Structure 1
C-alpha cells in the first residue's frame, strides 16, 4: 500500500469519527412512540435546548383529555395532547442531559436524560433524589 493511500484512508477515518457526534445529535429529532404505545412524542429544537411535546395520544380517552394532575392550577384545564413533556435538554458527552420530563399522569417533573441506543431506539431516563432512583423507557422512531 502506498504512503498516499495510507494517508488518505487515515484522513477518511478521522473525518468519520469527527462526524459521528453531529450525526448522533441530529438523529434524536422527530416522532417517537412511547414504550407503552400510548403516545407519540415530537422532539425538536426549542431555542438553545431540545424539547418534546405530545403530538398524539393513541389510547382511547375522554375527548380533550385535560392535564388535571398538573401542580399549577392554571394549567389543569389545558389538553394533554400538544403539551410539552420534555424540556431543557442539551447535548453533553454523547447524550442529551440536564433536562426535565413531565409525567401528566401524576403531575410531576423528573430530572432526565435522553440517549440513542445502537438499535435506533431512544432511551428516556427520569430520576429523583439526585439520580439515586431512576426509571427508563425505550421509545421507537415513528
Structure 2
C-alpha cells in the first residue's frame, strides 16, 4: 500500500512539473511583426507578464526618450516607453493558451483584454474588447 501511494505521488509530481515546464515555454524575448520592439515575457508567481525590453528607436531625434504620452493616466505620461509592462496577469490554461490577461498599446494609450496562443516559436497575440471576436491579432516571433 505504501509503495502504491509513493508511486502515485511521484506520478502526480512529475505531471505537475511537466505542466509547469510547458507553461514556462512562453518565457523569453519576442519581437513584433514590424520589428520595432521586443517584449520580454517573465513570470511573477503563477502569472505571466511582459515588458517592452527593446525598441528600434527608443529616443526622439533630439536624444530624449520616447514617452508614454498617450497614457490615460496623466501621472504615467512622463515615463519612457522602454521598460513599460505591456502584458499583465496572464494564466496558463494547460493547452498552449495564456488568457485572462491584458495588453497595453502605447501607440494608442489603450488597454485591451488579451489571449495568447503559443505554437512553437510563434506567439499569436489577440487583443480585444468584450469578446475575442472583436479584436486584432498579431504573430510575434521568438528572438533567438
Under TM normalisation by the shorter chain, which class is it? Answer: 0.7 to 0.9
Contact 1:29–1:43 (CA under 8 A) maintained in structure 2: yes
Written as runs of structure 1 = structure 2, the 5 A alignment for 1:69-84 is 69-84=70-85
Contact 1:24–1:116 (CA under 8 A) maintained in structure 2: no
Q: CA deviation at 1:98?
A: 0.1
Cα RMSD (Å): 2.0
Tell me the residue number matched to 1:39.
37
Tell me the residue number matched to 2:12.
none
Moved over 2 A (4+): 18-24, 129-132
Written as runs of structure 1 = structure 2, the 5 A alignment for 1:21-100 is 21-59=19-57, 61-62=59-60, 63-94=64-95, 95-100=97-102
Deviates more, 1:123-132 or 1:99-108: 123-132
Q: CA deviation at 1:25?
A: 1.0
Distance 1:29 1:89 in 2: 12
Tell me the residue number matched to 2:5.
none
Consecutive unaligned residues in structure 2, runs of 5 or more: 1-14
Matched residue pairs, number? 126
Distance 1:131 1:116 in 2: 17
Instruction: Give the TM-score of the pair, scaled to structure 1.
Output: 0.80
Q: Secondary structure at the match of 1:130?
A: coil
Consecutive unaligned residues in structure 1, runs of 5 or more: 1-17
Q: CA deviation at 1:128?
A: 1.1
Distance 1:103 1:35 in 2: 14
1:63-122: CA deviation from partner (whole Å, max 9, x where unpaired): 31000000000000000000000001001141100000000011000000111114x211
Q: Secondary structure at the match of 1:25?
A: helix
